[in-house]
Structure 1
């Protein structure tokens, strides 16, 4: 019988707010069992780029990563942010280990090919990119891996990779060994039926219902790629996907995505 594993992804404003980040990590520490945390980078890297006279470039929420930008995001994501998160988890009683994809060859990416847009040093994750043996050993030892959004190509090149993609890829790869729950944690209480009503959380969504909500325009804009990836993860063997408020992960209000 497969053991349970919960994978949490945080990003956005939660990373930039010290008090909120501390609250989330304290709540995360209360959740029993095996866990993995994936975090984005917040706004710190963009601010440093601007301070150095380098204008951040984003296309549809994805960062264009040239060589100077890669240096900065690596320092922030794999350095300052990752180690601060690990330190706060240790303080909350969680034995955490900060990782990039390069550490232990944990996640190997391929540089995104140039098509209409040259994203620079951005990594995509093919099948077989996750070192499930390493992660299984860490989890069995009671360690909580904490991943930043930096991967590598196995040839010495670091790559900037979307944190949502990392979380989904980890969940799908580890679903062979574990009963995986994938949690996307952000500023809202879940998926809303009315974007103007913060209380209109949809408690559960199944695939047929999701297609109807998209067709009706209830779910649109930035939420669509997140939910597309979530349902793809369910098809790949993930038990369920949860969309929830990062500050309320131990409360009942949330949206649960399931196969049926």
Structure 2
């Protein structure tokens, strides 16, 4: 029987709100099974960009990353956000290890090639390229990996990689060795028919229903990459849920079919 492993991605306003983040990390630290945390930090990166006079550019929830923006996301994701999370987890007795995909060469990637849109220093990776043996070494050594949304091209450059994609890829790669559960946590109770009304929660969501909601413009912007990646993991037999971060250890949110 495979060992259970929980992969959790946090993002959105969860990271911006100190009290919420503290509560979520305490609950995360109390999970008994081995676990991995993946975090975003897009809002902090955008705020930092504006302070530095760099206008953030987004397409369907994905950040265009030129050379200056890469510096900003490296500072925000790999520095400020990642190390604050690691320090908080240590305070809760969780022996966390802050990582980018470059550390220990765990997640090599390639600069995105797109003839229509130049995403800049944005990285895409193959699930098979994730070094699951090295990750397992950390996990089985009692460490909890905490990944920010950065990979590398093996030629000396970091690459900005969507955190939702990273979570799905890590979960899928490790499903070969572990019984993986993937949970996306943010500031909403799950997938909503009306983003402004928490009572419109969709408790179960299949891919065809998602496509219809996307075509109708009900699901848009940042929820698109989140759900595309969530369904990609689900197709590999991984249990996937999307919920409010404060409901981390509760039976709540949206379950993907």
| TM-score after normalising by structure 1 | 0.91
**Is 1:247 matched with 2:246?**
yes
Match of 2:212 among 215, 219, 222: 215
More deviation, 157-166/60-69: 60-69
SS state of the match for residue 50, structure 2? helix
The two structures, once aligned, show a CA RMSD in angstroms of 1.8
SS state of the match for residue 200, structure 2? coil
Question: Which ranges in structure 2 are unaligned for 5 or more consecutive residues?
Answer: none
1:169 aligns with: 169
Cα separation, partners in 2 of 1:117 and 1:199, compared to 1, 3 Å: same
1:100 aligns with: 100
Question: Which ranges in structure 1 are unaligned for 5 or more consecutive residues?
Answer: none
Does the 8 Å contact 1:16/1:42 carry over to 2? no
Cα separation, partners in 2 of 1:95 and 1:44, compared to 1, 3 Å: same
- How far apart are the structure 1 equivalents of 2:219 and 2:54? 32
2:235 aligns with: 235
Cα separation, partners in 2 of 1:72 and 1:227, compared to 1, 3 Å: closer
| TM-score after normalising by structure 2 | 0.92
Does the 8 Å contact 1:153/1:159 carry over to 2? yes
Does the 8 Å contact 2:60/2:224 carry over to 1? no
Cα separation, partners in 2 of 1:196 and 1:60, compared to 1, 3 Å: closer
What stretches of structure 1 move > 3 A for 4+ residues in a row?
A: 193-197, 216-219, 222-225
Can you list the C-alpha shifts for 1:176-220, whole angstroms capped at 9, x where unaligned? Answer: 000110100011111234545312333333x4xx41454365962
Aligned positions, number: 254
Does the 8 Å contact 1:3/1:179 carry over to 2? yes
Does the 8 Å contact 1:107/1:152 carry over to 2? yes
2:190 aligns with: 190
- How far apart are the structure 1 equivalents of 2:107 and 2:210? 34
Can you list the C-alpha shifts for 1:130-153, whole angstroms capped at 9, x where unaligned? Answer: 110111011111111000011101
1:159 aligns with: 159
- How far apart are the structure 1 equivalents of 2:193 and 2:44? 32
**Is 1:141 matched with 2:141?**
yes
- How far apart are the structure 1 equivalents of 2:198 and 2:128? 39
